[in-house]
Amino acid sequence: MTLSRRAILIGATAVLVARPAFAKEPRWYDSGSGYAADGADVVAYFSLDETARGVKGSSEYSTEWNGMRWRFANAENLAAFQANPEKYAPQFGGYCSWAVSQGYTAHGDKDAWSVKNGKLYLNYNNRIRNRWLKDVPGFIAKGEANWPGIIGS
């Protein structure tokens, strides 16, 4: 092998090692608002009836955590999140939980949600949420199996 061919092969190998083989989804869903959960107060879900719409957060009560910006309706909810963000952050990065259980991602709607076993799950819309509610434990198990491959962790 000539020196120039060897240099090309070494350079190509370095490029392959330096970048992932295929693109993965970002860890958190962002619809373009710049905020997780489309700017909804993720702490508020834990005190709402599941037929309620998500509570809009305020830029006055916001924080950054785990590479994303988060909004809250009041100082108390902001403080609760800052004390234990893993408790309140939506599962599967705020993507549609049912879609993740099927092996892909879709928009997580702040108004199509459920809290199960102390965890927040968002879905694409209320029709998909109703599908999700038919087998929450099964869909959670499938989603947890799929999630690492979806985000590449």
The pLDDT value recorded for residue 25 is 65
Residue 15: predicted pLDDT? 35
Q: What's the 3-state SS for the chain? A: CCHHHHHHHHHHHHHHHHCCCCCCCCCCCCCCCCEHHHHECCCHHHHCCCCCCCCECEEEEEEEECCEEEEECCHHHHHHHHHCHHHHCCHHHHCCHHHHHCCCCCCCEEEEEEEECCEEEEECCHHHHHHHHCCHHHHHHHHHHHHHHHHCC
Q: Tens of pLDDT along the chain (153 residues)?
A: 554 444 444 443 333 333 233 346 678 888 888 999 999 999 999 999 988 999 999 999 999 999 999 999 999 999 999 999 999 999 999 999 999 999 999 999 999 999 999 999 999 999 999 999 999 999 999 999 999 999 875
> Per-domain residue ranges for the chain?
25-151
Q: Say what the pLDDT of residue 21 is.
A: 34
pLDDT of residue 153: 56
Q: What pLDDT shows up at residue 93?
A: 95
